Amino acid sequence: MATPATTPGTTGTETTGAASAAIAASAGAASAGAEAIRTWLTERVAYFLDVRPQDIAADDLLVEIGLDSVYALTLCGDVEDEFGILVEATLAWDHPTIDALTAHIHSELAAR
């Protein structure tokens, strides 16, 4: 049985520079992915409400800032189209803030 080659003075369990970079890139991509989702959601909701994206806080309750049932259903279809996932019609009520929606969508995409 062959054993993996190690560099003299190492145990073979150290993370190489390339592996460390890959792990860091993967973690960065995950957070960048969540940020991209958050930005997209904020822009969509702002469009529906006819406000500027910067006027929507990530922890605002969507119903309190004016997202009605028609736009909530439209958002479901937009999420399905944009991210290629199926969501419940109650998405905006089950996850009532941009942050909650972001976390849910990000976890759904990560589960693939």
Q: What is the pLDDT of residue 31?
A: 54
What is Dmax (Cα atoms) for the chain? Answer: 67
Average of per-residue pLDDT across 10-39: 58
Strongest mean pLDDT among 16-20, 24-28, 38-42? 38-42
- Beta carbons within 8 Å of 75's beta carbon, 6+ residues apart: 44, 45, 48, 67, 91, 92
**Phi, psi (deg, nearest 5) at residue 88:** -75, 155
Name the average pLDDT for the chain.
82
Q: What is the pLDDT of residue 14?
A: 46
Residue closest to 54 by CA, chosen among 63, 62, 45: 45
pLDDT for residue 109 is more than 90: yes
Q: What percentage of the chain has pLDDT greater than the value 90?
A: 71
CA distance 50 to 77: 19
Predicted model pTM: 0.73
